[in-house]
Amino acid sequence: MQQGSTAYETKSYRSDSNNLTRVFENYPPPGSNPVTQYLYQIDGFTGLEYQSSAAANRTGVTITFQNITFQGIHAAKILSRIDVSHSAKDASYELGTPPCGAGLLLTVGPLPYAGPLAYEPVQLITVMISNVIALIGSTIACFRLTLYWNRPKARLDKNGNEVSSQERSDV
């Protein structure tokens, strides 16, 4: 989102076992301003969240409930409004709890977030397999380049004509 812009986000909830009217009964009423929302800034190099969170209103982001709609007791939709002030700093945040839901990435500024998203711990075997695949790929590429660079090259005489191998030995 650009500084000074507004976005709307609709989150749908469905549960076969929970009564969602009870789950959302303690949420602030629609239009309450602002919702207490903590944002976790994401490091663009590692994809990990910084350890400290900040209240959304200290980052220049304001999140408000616009509407809660229930479709029976097992389905609900929450519409939220996300406002980014003109003074908000360029950063990427994970919006973790309602109204936006876990895993939603909010990027403030002109450039989209292009880093990794490292939410799960990486298993050692995954790193080893990735390294082996990279090693095999680079070995194949280097072998092919070596063959290409060491191929026999045609020799040309002064007139630009190719000299045969017999004529080369006579020269």
Q: What is the pLDDT of residues 128-169, one digit of tens each?
A: 888 889 999 999 989 988 888 887 776 767 776 776 655 444
Report the distance separating Cα 44 and Cα 140, nearest Å.
32
What is the pLDDT at residue 98? 41
Residue 119's pLDDT band (cuts 50, 70, 90): low
100: confidence class by pLDDT, cuts 50, 70, 90: very low
pLDDT tens digits for 56-73? 667 888 877 788 888 888
The structure tokens listed for 98 are 């309602």
Q: Is the pLDDT of residue 101 over 50?
A: no
User: What is each CA distance from 141 to 67, 102, 145, in whole angstroms?
Assistant: 57, 41, 6
Q: What is the reported pTM?
A: 0.56
Query: Exposure of 146 by Cβ count < 10 A (0-12 exposed, 13-18 middle, 19+ buried)?
Result: exposed
pLDDT given at position 136? 92
